[in-house]
Amino acid sequence: MQDQKDIKKTTYKDYAEKRASPSPLIRDTFLAFIFGGALCVAGQGLTALCLAWTGSEKTAGTLASLALIAIASILTGFGVFDKAARYGGAGMLVPITGFSNAMTSPAIDAKSEGWVLGVGAKIFNVAGPVILYGTLSSAVYGLIYYVLKTIIL
């Protein structure tokens, strides 16, 4: 017991890294490629369906994203998404499905902490930073674009 208490933070880190099995890079990357590629093919198919329905390419793309977001959220609720993500890794997380999962998963887990500071706050655990830095960088780009445009024209 005394020994465990004496373990310093750094020692523990070394220990943990030594014990953690090395991540099989090639297998992980291959699976991410397959899962990610398959999701994009699904997105392409949904876009084609929505295009036939609405006739507008822009609306079709948006609707396809919405469909993927909805499906990912429901699959997260059933616990299927997390199982798939264990294999697919970045292939499940980097597509828009990962954004949906990143909101749904903490929202469900935070139910016991209440609906305002639990679900309401935790829903943005990962999505918040994504929206923040996305909006920030787009505003910085907008500023540069606006200044350049005003100077040149």
Partner 1 sequence: MIYLKAFLFGGLICAIAQILIDRTKLTPARILVGAVVAGVCLSALGIYGPFKEFAGAGAAVPLTGFGHLLAEGVRTAIDEKGAIGILTGGLTASSAGIAAAMLFAYVSALIFRSKSK
d(CA 71, CA 109): 19
Q: In this chain, which of 15, 109, 114, 117 binds partner 1, going by CB under 8 A? A: 109
User: Least distance to partner 1 from the beta carbon of 18, Å?
Assistant: 16
Residue pair 12/21 in contact by the 8 Å Cβ criterion? no
First to last CA, the chain: 73
CA distances from residue 141 to 71, 128, 146, 149 in whole angstroms, order as listed: 32, 20, 8, 12
| Residue 50 in contact with partner 1, rule: CB under 8 A | no
| Residue 119 in contact with partner 1, rule: CB under 8 A | yes
117: tokens are: 């500071």
Residue pair 71/80 in contact by the 8 Å Cβ criterion? no
| Residue 93 in contact with partner 1, rule: CB under 8 A | yes
Q: In this chain, which of 16, 18, 23, 151 binds partner 1, going by CB under 8 A? A: 23
Q: In this chain, which of 11, 15, 44, 53 binds partner 1, going by CB under 8 A? A: 44
Tokens 């750094």 correspond to 10
| Residue 141 in contact with partner 1, rule: CB under 8 A | yes
- Determine the 3-state secondary structure of 89 from DSSP: coil
| Residue 65 in contact with partner 1, rule: CB under 8 A | yes
Q: In this chain, which of 7, 15, 41, 114 binds partner 1, going by CB under 8 A? A: 41
Q: In this chain, which of 51, 84, 96, 121 binds partner 1, going by CB under 8 A? A: 96
Nearer to partner 1, 84 or 96 (CB): 96
